[in-house]
A and B are shown apart, each in its own frame.
Chain A
Amino acid sequence: AVAAAAPRRLFGALCLLRLPRITQPMRREEEEVAALMGQIELEKSRYSDHELRKLEEEEQLRRRRESGYDDDEGPGQTVIMAQDLEDKWEQKLQRFRAAPRVTDADKNNIRTSLERKLDSNLMLLVKQKIGDQELWLLPQAEWQPGETLRSTAERALAASLGDRIQAKFLGNAPYGHYKYKFPRAIRTEDNMGAKVFFFKAFLQSNDLSQAELKEDFLWVTKDELGDYLKSEYLKKVNRFLLD
């Protein structure tokens, strides 16, 4: 028989990525070079007006101290020095508290939260029943005749997160595929196995309060995928993940 033409069931799966919200920390080499570039820029620069004013005032103070406070400041003459301005600016900076880069979800390793690992991509994993096994995999839906595979992936998204979630799909073409044969017990003439085609999408909406969560789900980074996915499936998925 023509093995290549043996029909398989088609599935469209979706790799939904939450893009990073903060920058990654610099590596050691990057930090060293950044410091060096700052140093070179300082050496090549000229004094600014503020720095000149600061130097002049320091000169004045020094001269006044050496001459023993001969010419005291006039009555009630309060002069704002450049150094005072700098101190004021420094205090204002200290009073500002930015949001922390390491969130509570990070500390407690809450893998269902979108606030974890803000500096890397997070992928959606759901638990689905395949045959008689409950497996963790990328959300997938079976292809119905009459729709394109991308619409199947969109249906998979709606099935796991609801209609209200916005995602930007990256093109009509699949990014990867995974094919497997059914175990002999279920295999028939028409159903040799299945092929899953993966599509990529970026999550647009920021919070998931609008989501209707229907299945067990997790948001994981590329490194943590190995904890949940089977090895063959993981190999195919890793090929189209850039991180």
Chain B
Amino acid sequence: ARAQPKKKKKVDVKREQAQKERMKKKIRKLEKAASEMIPIEDFMTPPKYLESKRVRSLPPLSSEEIERRVLLMKKWSLYKQKQDEAEKKAIQTLVASQQAALKELRLESEELYQAAIKRDEGLFPFERDGPNYTPPLPDYDPPEGKCTDITKVYTQ
């Protein structure tokens, strides 16, 4: 009658320990196995859009059209290059003007100069609404509607 409870305790403890180790092993195995990557839906074309009936039938491009396109692209790269150079030059003049102003300020007063080169904490985060195509209508009442979001959310 006395020996039995002792056995139970030992066996129980051993059994519990064995169970814990088995669980830990399983957890370690799951963690070692590489977790599934979240699929990027934009990169996967749904199969229904790859059917042949969906292929557009347009007349083939003539050689004049191809040449016009190539020449237009060359003109565009030149236009964009000039635009980029002008922007960079404008930024350089702006920075140079600021440096010159700071130099002049230093000549006037060291104290004002130190106040001017301090970081402006209130500047960032800087928010601005971009320009639209038409200015806002003064008394516009937008039509009502409901928007249901069906984006799939994946968790790892």
> Least Cβ distance of A98 to chain B in Å?
4
> For A171, what are the chain B residues with a Cβ–Cβ distance below 8 Å?
120, 123
Q: How far is the CA of A168 from the CA of B58 in the complex (A)?
A: 53
Q: How far is the CA of A98 from the CA of B73 in the complex (A)?
A: 34
> For A99, what are the chain B residues with a Cβ–Cβ distance below 8 Å?
134-138
Q: How large is the interface on B (under 10, 10 to 19, 20 to 34, 35 or more residues)?
A: 35 or more
Q: How large is the interface on A (under 10, 10 to 19, 20 to 34, 35 or more residues)?
A: 35 or more
Contact indicator A43/B135 (Cβ below 8 Å) = no
> Least Cβ distance of B53 to chain A in Å?
7
Contact indicator B100/A21 (Cβ below 8 Å) = no
Set A8, A52, A173, A198: member contacting B117, Cβ < 8 A: A173
Evaluate whether A173 and B90 lie within 8 angstroms (CB atoms) in the complex, with A33-B72, A118-B135 already known: no
Q: How far is the CA of A173 from the CA of B96 in the complex (A)?
A: 13
Set B123, B132, B133: member contacting A170, Cβ < 8 A: B123
> Least Cβ distance of B66 to chain A in Å?
12
Look across to chain A and name the residue whose beta carbon is closest to the beta carbon of B69.
Answer: A36
Q: How far is the CA of A170 from the CA of B73 in the complex (A)?
A: 38
| Count, A-B residue pairs, CB within 8 A | 124
Contact indicator B72/A36 (Cβ below 8 Å) = yes
Is A29 at the interface (CB under 8 A from chain B)? yes
Highest count of chain B CB atoms <10 Å: which of A99, A119, A173, A242: A173
> For B108, what are the chain A residues with a Cβ–Cβ distance below 8 Å?
7-8, 10, 195
> For A174, what are the chain B residues with a Cβ–Cβ distance below 8 Å?
98, 101-102, 105, 116
A69-77, A175-183, A223-231: which one contacts chain B? Answer: A175-183
> Least Cβ distance of A57 to chain B in Å?
15
> Least Cβ distance of B68 to chain A in Å?
9
Other A-B contacts than A99-B137, A148-B115, 9 sampled, CB-CB below 8 A, are: A22-B134, A42-B56, A43-B56, A101-B134, A171-B120, A172-B120, A177-B105, A195-B104, A197-B101
19 A/B residue pairs, CB under 8 Å, sorted by A: A7-B108, A29-B75, A32-B72, A33-B76, A43-B58, A46-B55, A47-B56, A99-B135, A149-B112, A150-B115, A150-B116, A168-B126, A172-B115, A173-B116, A176-B97, A176-B98, A240-B93, A240-B94, A240-B97
